[in-house]
């Protein structure tokens, strides 16, 4: 199936650069972008809120080893300090 897309010259130039850099056809880049867009936005059983933040899980460290288990205690301690 053929699909025509209109875009700015700026995007076209960037796609040209990426295609040469990656050794792909421009249509390959368009297919990859469309596939990613659909996978990130389709509302089905596999598109849970967790999927949207999965790359963030484990990316931040608090320095508190038992924060997941004792989070309530830490919140209460913090509230007491502020009052």
Please give the structure tokens belonging to residue 9. 């010259």
Q: Which fold has domain 1-41?
A: Arc Repressor Mutant (1.10.1220)
The model scores a pTM over 0.75:
no
* Per-residue model confidence as pLDDT tens digits over 22-72: 999 999 999 999 999 988 887 766 667 777 788 888 788 888 888 888 889
* Contact predicate 29/19, CB 8 Å: yes
Taking the domains of the chain in order of start, what are their residue ranges? 1-41
DSSP string covering 35-51, please? HHHHHHH--STT--HHH
Contact assessment for residue 12 and residue 1, using Cβ atoms and an 8 Å cutoff: no
pLDDT value at 3 more than 80: yes
Contacts of 13 (CB under 8 A, 6+ apart): none
């Amino acid at each position: 199936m053929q699909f025509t897309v209109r875009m700015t010259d700026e995007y076209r130039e960037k796609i040209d650069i990426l295609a040469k850099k990656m050794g792909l056809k421009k249509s390959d880049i368009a297919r990859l972008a469309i596939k990613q867009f659909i996978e990130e936005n389709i509302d089905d059983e596999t598109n849970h809120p967790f999927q949207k933040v999965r790359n963030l899980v484990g990316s931040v460290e608090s320095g508190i080893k038992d924060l997941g288990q004792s989070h309530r205690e830490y919140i209460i301690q913090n509230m007491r300090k502020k009052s």
